């Protein structure tokens, strides 16, 4: 029986050592896990901080870009308004010139009509007088 007791003692010692080693290994795993979590938290904090900084820079760039675009749009609006006013003035001048030319043309047509009417009236009077003279002598 002493052999059995020796084997049991060896087995128990081996089991105890194995449990101690397992506890040590678990402690090391827990410690490594904590270190890893701390490093991951630090890394994610740094990434978050960098993203926050980049977002600030991007916001500044977008604000400046928006300001530049606003200036360009305002400049384009001013140029368009000036061009529109110039076009309106040119069209108004052409319209006024066209109206004056039409009025002059109508005036000339009336004058020509009046002169032609007078000429036709004179011709009819002359024909009437000639007819009367012709019929009186007959």
Domain membership of residue 8 (yes or no) is: yes
Residues 70 and 138 in one domain: yes
End-to-end CA distance of the chain: 190
Residues 93 and 40 in one domain: no
Residues 101 and 76 in one domain: yes
Residues 8 and 71 in one domain: no
Domain membership of residue 17 (yes or no) is: yes
| Average per-residue pLDDT for the chain | 91
Question: What was the pLDDT predicted at 58?
Answer: 93
Determine the structural domain holding residue 7 and report its residue range: 1-49
**Which stretch of DSSP H or E encloses residue 28?**
helix 2-137
Residues 32 and 4 in one domain: yes
Q: Is the pLDDT of residue 76 over 80?
A: yes
pLDDT digits (tens, 9 = 90+) for 83-131: 999 999 999 999 999 999 999 999 999 999 999 999 999 999 999 998 9
Radius of gyration of the chain measured on its C-alpha atoms:
57
Question: What was the pLDDT predicted at 8?
Answer: 84
Domain count, the chain: 2
Domain membership of residue 59 (yes or no) is: no
Question: What was the pLDDT predicted at 1?
Answer: 63
Instruction: Classify the C-alpha dihedral 8-12-13-14 as positive or negative.
Output: positive
Give the predicted TM-score (pTM) of the model: 0.46
């Amino acid at each position: 029986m002493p052999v059995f007791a020796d084997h049991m003692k060896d087995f128990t010692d081996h089991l105890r050592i194995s449990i101690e080693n397992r506890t040590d290994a678990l402690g090391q795993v827990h410690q490594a896990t904590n270190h890893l979590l701390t490093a991951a938290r630090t890394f994610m904090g740094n990434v978050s901080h960098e993203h926050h900084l980049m977002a600030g820079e991007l916001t500044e760039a977008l604000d400046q870009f928006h300001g530049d675009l606003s200036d360009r749009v305002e400049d384009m609006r001013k140029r368009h308004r000036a061009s529109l006013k110039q076009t309106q003035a040119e069209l108004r001048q052409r319209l006024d010139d066209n109206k004056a030319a039409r009025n002059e043309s109508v005036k000339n047509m009336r004058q020509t009509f009046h002169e032609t009417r007078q000429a036709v009236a004179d011709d009819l009077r002359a024909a009437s007088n000639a007819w009367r003279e012709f019929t009186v002598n007959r």
